[in-house]
Amino acid sequence: MRSSLVLCLAAGACLSAQVRFAPDQNAVSIDGKPFTNFNHGSDANKPFLAPLRSASGKIVTRRFPMEVVPGESRDHLHHRGLWFSYDDVNGVKFWENDPSYTKPRMGRIVVRNAAWKDGGRTGTLTATIEWRDPEGKTLLVESRDMVFYPDPNRRTIDFRITLTAAQEVTIGDTKEGAFAIRLAENFTERRGGKIVDADGRISMAKIWGKRSDWVDYTAEVDGERLGVAIFDHPQNQHHPTYWHVRDYGLFALNPFGQNAFDPQAEERHLKLPAGGKLALRFRVAIHPGDAETGRVADLYKEFESRNFRNVLK
């Protein structure tokens, strides 16, 4: 059964849904049901996907600050849906960079262009994105492919990200980053949410600052047990990644920081010369059940088996 699940996902034989894109709304739907929207984020200083929904249609990301919903937390305005940013690129802050903040040296992550490509059952949203410093100079050019997979029971997105240095850059050592989701209130530990990682650790207290292949949050959402997992590909730089997970619903992996998570480790400063590239690959899977019944470990095995070559030069 377990091997057949992996083969089924890999080959697409069990998939019946179709992926569609509505360019006027930057909206992705699967089998006629809304899944997510790609927000260019001109009013947020970064692009993001929000909301994210399960296959059953339940929203698993926090709606604030895009919407004000009674009972939701209203902290951290820079936590918007699903995003990728980092707080130390040549000393410029791309993480805590909401336009309402007055923090020094805040940068902007700007979508230069985006295009949709149908791939049969899958669909890929490709974007060229510039990381600009406060003076408007581009530090990094990000090429991002977001591949959306159809499935009647799960929602899966693969992220293929390549960062190219527009000038010499140093990516510093901080916990504030990098590939992240702000989950809905049900996923918080105070509301009964559960956090587990690939090494069997449970809870924020045991997982924050640790390295692992994947982490999964689960919660009861409108009477249904749902999970959200993030996978770090084994060929990524500095795999297995450190995890910046919080009991209030912030869910992030950080392939750049080191001393920020482990005071015994050396500070990590990743330098890219002008034109240098760094390739990263992540997956997000929204599944029914918890990590065990949702077979997250099997899903990760399928993900890690896919060929991916890290580029750093």
In terms of CATH architecture, what is 2-304? Distorted Sandwich (2.70)
Determine how β-strand 194-197 pairs with β-strand 270-272.
unpaired
Tens digits of residue pLDDT in 76-103 = 999 999 999 999 999 999 999 999 999 9
DSSP category for residue 213:
S
Residue labelled with tokens 């249904």 = 224
- The pair of structure tokens assigned to 227 is 């999970």
Using 50 as the pLDDT threshold, list the residues of the chain that sit under it.
Answer: 1-15, 310-313
For residue 10, the model assigns a pLDDT of 38
Residue labelled with tokens 């060229």 = 128
Count of CB atoms situated within 10 Å of the CB of 171 = 25
- The pair of structure tokens assigned to 241 is 């990644």
Show Cβ contacts of residue 264 under 8 Å, excluding neighbours closer than 6 positions.
none
For residue 121, the model assigns a pLDDT of 87
Taking the C-alpha atoms of residue 29 and residue 21, their distance in angstroms, rounded to an integer, is 6
Coil, helix or strand for 277? strand
Inter-CA distances, 243 with 5, 178, 278, Å: 27, 10, 19
- The pair of structure tokens assigned to 36 is 């997510």
> Position 58: which residue type?
K
Taking the C-alpha atoms of residue 164 and residue 187, their distance in angstroms, rounded to an integer, is 35
Q: Which long-range contacts (CB under 8 A, 24 or more apart) does 96-99 make?
A: 96/176, 97/45, 97/46, 98/44, 98/45, 99/43, 99/44, 99/45
Domain parsing of the chain, residue ranges: 2-304
For residue 120, the model assigns a pLDDT of 76
Tens digits of residue pLDDT in 203-213 = 999 999 999 99
